[in-house]
Structure 1
Amino acid sequence: MTILDHIEFAVCDAEASRRFYEQALAPLGIVRIITVERNRTRSGGMRHGFGRDGYPRLWIHDNESPGAGTHIAFAAQDRATVDAFHQAALKAGGIDNGPPGVRSHYHANYYAAYVLDPDNVNVEVVCQDPHFSRS
């Protein structure tokens, strides 16, 4: 299992960056998998997801200052780990940015929690396994 599920960061111009990453990442077998239109994003910016095997692990978006809107997501093997991360991160001084729960707007098995770190980086832990263990 990989430790990173995905990473996201803001760029000045999503279309210019899309063209760059499509060409630059092609030798690695990484391609653009999805584009999310402006009217479907929280920031009102265009979003592009790149990855392999149909799953986007690198996201870029505009309409936020580069550096702002930075997001990193760690993969968890079960939902209990997502819950434990959220509690530990809050205890460590993080700011709640979304309690543990299913994010059905992504898909029915997307169970995640979000915390802002001391620099306002949005840190997520997500379990996407439909056969999770909640023990």
Structure 2
Amino acid sequence: MSVIDHIELSVADAEASRRFYEAALRPLGLSRVVSIDPARTAHGGARHGFGRDGYPSLWFHEETGSRLPSHVAFTARDRTAVDAFHEMALAHGGRDNGAPGVRERYHPHYYAAYVLDPDGNNIEAVCQTE
């Protein structure tokens, strides 16, 4: 069983984030599971849930006000998925924050790529096997 049930991040523009994450997370096997209309949310902003196997374990909700950037790292099945994540994220509005490659400062098999999402959050895809 996973230690974390779900994570939710606030974003300035839920639709821009939805488009970005639909593309960037596809190579990692994650997809949008559910969207909730702003009229049905406590904070009045749209919500989008992403996950695998029909369960939304990653949520984004639209919220105004100041926020600090977050860091989220997604497990990739292989290095090709890391490369595809980086490529798709950049093609859909992400900004490069570290091209795909081995990060030996962590360990010799830590292959990762980093992008900044539309809100400046540092999003990583990582494969920790050879």
Superposition TM-score, scaled by structure 2 size: 0.50
CA distance in 1, matches of 2:4, 2:65: 23
Q: Percent identity?
A: 57
Q: For residues 18 and 12 of structure 2, what CA distance do their matches in structure 1 show? A: 11
Q: Is 1:55 matched up with 2:47? A: no
Deviations 1:103-134 (A, max 9, x none): xxxxxxxxxxxxxxxxxxxxxxxxxxxxxxxx
For 1:34, what is the secondary structure of its paired residue?
strand
Counterpart contact for 1:43–1:64, Cα < 8 Å: no
1:4: how far off?
Answer: 0.4
1:3 and 1:66 map into 2 onto residues whose CA distance is 29
Measure how far apart 1:24 and its partner are: 0.1
Please give the per-residue CA displacement for 1:81-101, whole angstroms capped at 9, x wherever unaligned. Answer: xxxxxxxxxxxxxxxxxxxxx
5+ residue gaps, structure 2, are 71-130
Report what 2:18 is aligned to.
Answer: 18
Q: Secondary structure of the residue that 2:48 maps to in structure 1?
A: strand
Aligned to 1:39: 39
Distance apart, 1:63 and its partner CA: 2.5
Write the distance in 1 (CA, Å) between the matches of 2:9 and 2:65.
9
Partner of 1:9: 9
Q: How does 1:107-118 map to 2 (within 5 A)?
A: none
In 1, Cα distance between the equivalents of 2:54 and 2:34?
A: 9
Displacement of 1:66 in angstroms is 5.4
Shift of 1:10: 0.6
Give the superposed CA RMSD: 1.7
Aligned length: 69
Question: Shift of residue 64 of structure 1?
Answer: 3.2
User: How far apart, in 1, do the equivalents of 2:60 and 2:8 lie?
Assistant: 6
SS in structure 1 at match of 2:58: strand
Is 1:28 paired with 2:49? Answer: no
Q: What TM-score comes out, normalization by structure 1 length?
A: 0.48
Q: Distance in 1 between matches of 2:32 and 2:64?
A: 21
Once the two structures are superposed, residues 16-57 of structure 1 have per-residue CA deviations (whole angstroms, 9 ceiling, x without a partner) of: 000000000000110000000001000000000000000000
Secondary structure class of the residue paired with 1:25: helix
